[in-house]
Amino acid sequence: MAETTFGNATQVLEPFRGIKKVTLEEYFTSGHRTCQGCESALVMKLMVKAAGPRTIVLGSTGCMYVANTTYYTTPWVVPWMHTQLGSSGSAALGTAAGLKALMRKGKMKAEPINVIAFCGDGGGADMGLGAISATLTHKEYNSLILLYDNESYANTDIQLSGLTPYGAHTTFSPPGKVHRLIHKRWKKNVAGLMAAGHPECRYVATVCASYAVEMMNKVRRALTIGGPTFIHSLDPCPKGWDYDPMLSHELGELAIETGIFPLYEVEDGVVKYYGKTKAIVEGRPRKPVREYLLKQGRFAHFTEEDLAYFQEKVDQQWDQWEIPGVVPFRKLDAAQAALNVK
């Protein structure tokens, strides 16, 4: 195959039109030992179900590595390989580049193969941010980086990451007698960061497995649009968030309904809200954040003051952000108002 004619061909993966149209085949099956109620395991299952059999999955260190692939068992029906904690971006890029080189030089049968690299919130938004950022600028290589965000380093005993919510109790941020809150950093706006910072990345989305069909369809869109893409998935974690495992699905819904985690996709620079987030943008009232926070043991030490602060920060993201829930620059009229005060 001549070098100049080899483009970014992708597989054809039409969106599933409803739950009954979803394919039956599973590519993430038994053989793992994730916790009861683990939403991240569900994300893995849905992710690769959407991608289909001609897929290579790279998994960076984290609970979806350690709990899923214990030697002599594997839940992965598709080829799977471990990559280092901060290497999901490099794993996607290297795998895609290797396949492309071999195909365009005629050393391997040419066909579009999905390349998906996943990372946790620590591996993705902390350690691996630089590598993901680099990969999102390499538009000639097709790949999807999926960040499963259970809001802590959940495999190593629940330590706080850059995506752990404000004030949460983790083993690195235990509430004490003198300091009620050890972790006072606000969660990184990671999908917005990826979308705003990489103008040639054609597709960035946020998803939640509580909305399984939509989640799978975002994966399909990410795999078919061409070039590098990024998906941020919010995954309730019974162990790290300290709640009854039967509430995983409900907590995912509440994260959206309270407006804490917005669902949107950015395709070729155009923001499109979907699901219950769309209703919020169109004016439906958000549920108070306390309904979400107080269902979780990690916020059990919160006072009314903490709840009010959390609510205020979430309100800001909808009332004051230039693109609500996506881009935190203040709206022009707000900036103008600030100038007028001077």
Partner 1 sequence: MATVTATKAASEDKELLISGSEAVAESLTLADIDVVTAYPIRPYDTVMQAIAKKIANGQLIAEYIVAEGEHSQFEIVKHASTVGARVFCGSSGVGWMYAMECLVVTPPLRVPMVCLVGNRALDDPGAFGVEHNDALVVRDLGWLLCWIDTSQEALDTTLIAYRVAEDRRIFLPLAISADGAFLTHSQAITMVPPKEKVDRYLPRYDRGDLLLHPDNPITVAPQANEDWVIEIRRQNDEAMKRAVGVIEEAYADFRRVFGRGPENPWFEEYMADDAEIILVGMGTISLPIKVAIREMRAKGKKVGLIRLRWFRPFPFERLAKALSGAQAIGVIDRDYSFGSPFHSGVVANEIRASLYNADKRPPLLSFICGLGGREVTLEDVNKAVDMCYAAAKSGKSDAKTHWLGVRE
In the complex, which residues of this chain contact partner 1 (CB under 8 A)? 3, 53-56, 58, 65-66, 69-72, 74, 76-84, 86-87, 89-91, 93-95, 97-102, 104-105, 107-108, 113, 130-131, 133-134, 138
Q: Is 158 exposed, middle or buried (0-12, 13-18, 19+ CB in 10 A)?
A: buried
- Shortest reach from residue 90's CB to partner 1, in Å: 4
Q: Which residue has the tokens 């987030």?
A: 277
- Shortest reach from residue 188's CB to partner 1, in Å: 19
Q: Which is nearer to partner 1, 148 or 302 (CB)?
A: 148
- Quick check: helix, strand or coil at residue 292? helix
Q: Which is nearer to partner 1, 140 or 244 (CB)?
A: 140
- Shortest reach from residue 298's CB to partner 1, in Å: 26
- Shortest reach from residue 118's CB to partner 1, in Å: 14
- Shortest reach from residue 191's CB to partner 1, in Å: 20
* DSSP code per residue over 133-194: HHHTT-TTS-EEEEEEE-SSBTTTT-B--TTSPTT--BTTB---SS-S-S--PPPP-HHHHH
- Shortest reach from residue 281's CB to partner 1, in Å: 35
Q: Which is nearer to partner 1, 62 or 324 (CB)?
A: 62
Q: Which is nearer to partner 1, 54 or 185 (CB)?
A: 54
Please tell me the distance from the alpha carbon of residue 14 to that of residue 217, in angstroms, as a whole number. Answer: 8
Q: Which is nearer to partner 1, 105 or 179 (CB)?
A: 105
Please tell me the distance from the alpha carbon of residue 320 to that of residue 338, in angstroms, as a whole number. Answer: 12
DSSP 8-state code for residue 101: H
Q: Is 310 exposed, middle or buried (0-12, 13-18, 19+ CB in 10 A)?
A: buried
